[in-house]
Amino acid sequence: MQENRSGRKIHHERESRLSLEEFIEKAPDFTTGERIAVREILESVAEGGREVSHRLALGPLHGLTGSSGQVNVQGEEVQAFDEIAQEVFSGLLGASGRVSVLVSEEREKPEVFPCPTDSFYVAMDPLDGSSNLAVSGPVGSIFALYRSRDGNEDPSRAILESVQDVVCAVYVLYSVSTLMVVAFREEVRMYALDPASGGFLPLPGPVRFPDGGGQIVSINTANYTRWDRGVQAYVDTLHSHSSWSARYVGALVMDFHRNLLKGGIYIYPGDLPKGNGGGHPEGKLRLLFEAIPMAFIARAAGGLATNGQKPILELPATHIHQRVALIVGSRERVQEFSRISGSPEPN
Ligand code: AHM
Ligand code: MG
């Protein structure tokens, strides 16, 4: 690490830039065939990210920033771009010949694709935070790759039984730049889309939560009265600290990404129904499409993720659209949350 003229520490080229191919090549735990399959799946994600990024940029000109008029399996309004991103990624991942089962936040049932050889199961949220599009705010796409198993005829069961076998997680952040963040078991790398060449070019890495864990807290405090006492106690404590900063975009990929680079914690706890119903007693976010991929990336970057009771990566899954409370961020901030809220401390 170096210091600039004002004495601020800068993580300048602190290690290396690895192309996506080089990163996949050095990832642990894969056979040669699996490594080829991972590469082809990530190439499909990159191609989809490029396509979605391009179409998002033109969205306002085509009147595509609002609702599609449909409601999804979660009972939520489907934005036009939820469906566009679903079609783009499902088409590319299916055609890769390397994804045998694909589950998506936007589809009630798994899609099954014929795969002659090494393949993985994939869970995705094709466009997370899509309500931000109405104001040209950041959104993201999230993916997790799970090791596939022989002999399970029911694709839902197959993926549910593999959730603790996640081998790679990726998100694409569509913001002022389009970034792809890729994690294998022990390392996270970041790539930026060069719109001129269409390539995702490597940025310096590996990416780790900063030393000390940072001071940013991302939580929707409008839900305060509907949280349990532990979460309220945590937020109460924050108000007596002068060092913390609140930042909340309402798009998990953006909020997580900021906290990964700057240091901090993202929290979406369970909350009780509002007067008019609603509420998310189990948490709002989905275990397969949002919590597991972010937990995997956080762990590979030195951080932690819990539902308040157990590490996210140790939770069993009973339903592909299962919701979960999510507390994810730097090790220091997640352990501090657990101490103050009186929940078991993850390690
Ligand atoms: P979505 O998958 O329907 O877009 O919902 C998930 C999003 C997250 O990106 C974000 O962190 C959260 O919902 C925001 O929820 P809220 O508006 O309740 O704070
Ligand atoms: Mg989502």
Every domain of the chain with CATH number 3.30.540.10 lies at 10-202
CATH value of 10-202 in 2.40.110.10, 3.40.50.2000, 3.30.540.10, 3.20.20.140: 3.30.540.10
Binding site membership of 250 for ligand 1 (Cβ less than 6 Å): yes
**pLDDT value of position 236:** 94
Strand 111-112 and strand 67-71: the pairing is: unpaired
CA dist 132 and 328 (Å) reads 21
pLDDT at residue number 277: 65
pLDDT of residue 7: 42
pLDDT at residue 195, as a whole number: 93
pLDDT at 67: 75
pLDDT score for 276:
62
* CATH class of residue range 216-341: alpha beta
User: How far is Cα 231 from Cα 234, in angstroms, rounded to an integer?
Assistant: 5
Angle between helices 80-95 and 32-58 (to 10 degrees): 150
Exposure b/e, 93-117, CB count within 10 A at least 16 = b: bbebbbbbbbbbbbbeebbebebee
263 C-beta closer than 6 A to ligand 1: no
Among 255, 209, 216, which residue's Cα sits nearest to residue 238?
A: 216
**Residue 320 in tokens:** 């592909």
Which is nearest to 139 in space by CA: 221, 44, 52, 76?
52
**Residues forming a β-bridge with 202:** 191
Residue nearest to atom 2 of ligand 1 (CA): 128
pLDDT of residue 65: 78
State the ligand closest to the CA atom of 258. Answer: 1
Q: Is residue 252 lining ligand 1, measured as CB closer than 6 Å?
A: yes
pLDDT tens digits in sequence order for the chain, 347 residues long: 444 444 444 444 456 999 999 999 999 989 999 999 999 999 999 999 999 999 999 988 988 777 777 787 777 777 889 999 999 999 999 999 999 999 999 999 999 999 878 999 999 999 999 989 999 999 999 999 999 987 678 999 999 999 999 999 999 999 999 999 999 999 999 999 999 999 999 999 999 999 999 999 999 999 999 999 999 999 999 988 778 999 999 999 999 999 999 999 999 999 887 666 678 889 999 999 999 999 999 999 999 999 999 999 999 999 999 999 999 999 999 999 999 999 988 87
Taking the C-alpha atoms of residue 342 and residue 313, their distance in angstroms, rounded to an integer, is: 20
pTM of the model: 0.93
Q: Which residues hold their Cβ within 5 A of ligand 2, which is an ion?
A: 125, 128
Tell me, in angstroms, the distance from the centre of ligand 1 to residue 12's CA: 33
Instruction: Verify whether ligand 1 is closer than 6 Å to residue 220 (CB atom).
Output: yes
> For strand 264-268 and strand 326-330, is the pairing parallel, antiparallel, or unpaired?
antiparallel
**Number of the ligand 1 atom closest to the C-alpha atom of 105:** 2
Location of each CATH 3.40.190.80 domain in the chain: 216-341
Q: Which of 79, 143, 252, 282 should be mutated for ligand 1, with most atoms under 8 A from CB?
A: 252
| Predicted local confidence at residue 340, as pLDDT | 95
